[in-house]
Amino acid sequence: MSAEATARAWVTAHRSDLSAATATIFDYGETAWREYQSAAWYVTRLRAEGFDVEEGSGGMPTAFCAHWTNGPGPTILMYAEYDGIPGQCQAAATHEAPRSGLPLSAGGHTDPHSGLGVGALGGLLATKAAMERHGIPGTLRFTGEPAEKVRGSKPIHAARGYYDGLDAALSFHPYYMDPLCNTVRWDTHCGAAYSMVYRFTCDAPHLWGGRRLTSSRPTPGSALSASAPPIPQAHSDVRAPGAQDALVHMYHSARALRDAMLPHRGGWSISEAILGPGHATADNLPARETHLQYMIRTATIAEAEQVTAMLDQCAEAAAALTGCAVQRVWVSKSRPGLPNHAIARVVWEALQTVGAPSWNAEATTLAREIQSNAGTPPMDNPWLPALTQLTDPREAEAQLRDALPPNQLNSTSDDYTEMCWHAPTARLYIARPTLRGGPYPPWVMNALGGLSPCIDPMVETAAQVLALSALRLLQDDEARTKGRDEFARRTSESPTSPLCDYAPPTDLPWPEYVTTPRGPDWR
């Protein structure tokens, strides 16, 4: 039996184990920077498989970095993501329902990262099994990447050297839109992204009423002129607009300028989210602290910098108007992706060997039930046709370019792009279960990611493709050399350094699960 056959047999033999693992991470449904149970599950499993694991890698409590070596040789990276999204708490059911004991507002998996992480883990462990049985030397590195939905961990890992010394990085993600269902990215990789939180604090509401201009541009939160009368009583502090009004001012001013800052074209966007509770207090006290998060998805770092400068001005103006101080806290600064055709060819050949995923009668019955419960007449074949088809990367590239302006070099968003600047990287897409027809409410896609018969084919296919790709790169000196040479050429043509110059933003009020005297809750 060849090493490749050993790896594929390992995935088949551990099918039920991978299925149970996917369901476990799906049920945790933890969100950005708060994936405590999910990260702990991976750390425990990797140590049981003989990996050395660093917990809290890069200063991120829910990140990790694992290593296993079979002697001197190449080093190949795979990784897990496991964060979900607030407001997407869907059970593994054929109807809309939150997971047991939780509100619909709690976290849940949309992409789904539950299957992404376990698919990569399956590929890793299948590669390890083949290396052991066939005496293949080399090292496997596996990172746990929290907060991908805010492009959080990979810029931090990159800046701290966790992607250095690699011969190749293999990046897998579920996908559902033609032409990228079952293929590998070619030239048009994901773009740049900046994300930050503006923290407004109202520490001196009693001084607000006497504020007057002392310069052409007052400093937010600055002290008042000595002659300015304060608000006379503490219970009158409600007259100060406070942090809540600062947030509202910025929210509206930034939205008014959105098209001027970054027109919504070609998939690029500026989006915002209000973090944390409203900090409600007594009726005569203003809110002391609020947080407004922005995500800027764009083609270039220069555009992201321009938008950031405008947002900074909006924040300063809002703070000055409301008697607040403002602080910008970085969440992410990540670069656009770089192609590597040499590594992409290796992964594409592995995908051709394995083939596209397929769905059996049990999965199809569940899909038809979902259609019925979502108000769509059940179809004999409910699956999107592209799910079971392979698309040559060059053909996918051509179709993708047809929908983009000629001068747009990147499309969509994901922080795997940081790996591309540290190692030859391939971006693999495997189809996730997706229904024909629609439009469907959001719970439909989320449910399909939790129902084992529906999501397991994607997980198993990804595991096999990743394992075959890794084994090829461990043994094929020529393929690795081509990948390294192309990587050296592309990075020399556009030299850049990691943009991350900030600490992990884990102290912000990200939503999370808590335990209360009433039982588990979400806040």
Summarised one tens digit per residue, pLDDT across range 74-123 is 999 999 999 999 999 999 999 999 999 899 999 999 999 999 999 999 99
Which of the residue ranges 285-289, 324-328, 445-449 would you say has the lowest mean pLDDT?
285-289
* Average of per-residue pLDDT across 14-27: 98
Q: Where is pLDDT greater, at 182 or 205? A: 182
Alpha-carbon distance values, 187 to 168, 396, 417 (Å): 17, 10, 13
Residue 211 confidence (pLDDT): 45
Q: Does the domain made of 197-334 have the CATH classification 3.30.70.360?
A: yes
* Average of per-residue pLDDT across 411-431: 95
Residue 409 confidence (pLDDT): 87
φ and ψ of 141, to 5 deg: -115, 135
Q: How far apart are CA 168 and CA 342, in angstroms?
A: 10
* Average of per-residue pLDDT across 424-434: 98
Per-residue pLDDT band for 261 (boundaries 50, 70, 90) equals: confident
Q: Which region, left, alpha or beta, applies to residue 288 given φ > 0 means left and ψ of -120 to 50 means alpha?
A: alpha
Residue 12 confidence (pLDDT): 98
How many other C-beta atoms can be found within 10 angstroms of the C-beta atom of residue 100? Answer: 8
Per-residue pLDDT band for 395 (boundaries 50, 70, 90) equals: very high
* Average of per-residue pLDDT across 15-22: 98
Residue 282 confidence (pLDDT): 61
Instruction: Assess whether pLDDT exceeds 60 at residue 229.
Output: no
DSSP string, 250-309: HHHHHHHTHHHH--S-TT-EEEEEEES------TTS---EEEEEEEEEES-HHHHHHHHH
Instruction: Report the percentage of the chain scoring pLDDT > 90.
Output: 80
Instruction: Assess whether pLDDT exceeds 80 at residue 318.
Output: yes
* Average of per-residue pLDDT across 162-168: 97
Residue 515 confidence (pLDDT): 87
Q: How far apart are CA 221 and CA 207, in angstroms?
A: 10
Q: How far apart are CA 464 and CA 486, in angstroms?
A: 26
Per-residue pLDDT band for 516 (boundaries 50, 70, 90) equals: confident
Residue 283 confidence (pLDDT): 64
Instruction: Assess whether pLDDT exceeds 80 at residue 464.
Output: yes
Instruction: Assess whether pLDDT exceeds 70 at residue 220.
Output: no
φ and ψ of 274, to 5 deg: -95, 120
Residue 236 confidence (pLDDT): 55
Q: Which pair of structure tokens corresponds to residue 40?
A: 């702990």
Residue 259 confidence (pLDDT): 84
Residue 214 confidence (pLDDT): 38
Query: Taking the complete model, does pTM exceed 0.85, yes or no?
Result: yes
* Whole-number average pLDDT of the chain: 91
The domain segmentation of the chain, as residue ranges, is 3-191+338-493, 197-334
Residue 208 confidence (pLDDT): 72
Work out the end-to-end distance of the chain between its first and last CA atoms, rounded to an integer number of angstroms.
52
Summarised one tens digit per residue, pLDDT across range 47-68 is 999 999 999 999 999 999 999 9
Integer-rounded Cα Rg, in Å, for the chain is: 25
**ω into 112 cis (within 30 of 0):** yes
Q: Regarding the domain with residue range 3-191+338-493, which homologous superfamily does it belong to in the CATH classification?
A: Zn peptidases (3.40.630.10)
Residue 279 confidence (pLDDT): 60
* Average of per-residue pLDDT across 444-473: 98
Instruction: Assess whether pLDDT exceeds 80 at residue 38.
Output: yes
Instruction: Assess whether pLDDT exceeds 60 at residue 139.
Output: yes
Residue 277 confidence (pLDDT): 64
Output the CA torsion 500→501→506→510 (10° steps): -60
Residue 278 confidence (pLDDT): 58
* Average of per-residue pLDDT across 306-332: 95
341 three-state secondary structure: helix
Per-residue pLDDT band for 224 (boundaries 50, 70, 90) equals: very low
DSSP string, 127-195: HHHHHHHHT---EEEEEEE--GGGT-HHHHHHHTTTTTT-SEEEEEEEE-STTSSSEE--S----EEEE
Residue 285 confidence (pLDDT): 74
Summarised one tens digit per residue, pLDDT across range 327-357 is 999 999 999 999 999 999 999 999 999 999 9
Residue 234 confidence (pLDDT): 54
- Are 251 and 292 spatial neighbours (Cβ–Cβ below 8 Å)? yes
Which of the residue ranges 241-245, 454-458, 467-471 would you say has the lowest mean pLDDT?
241-245
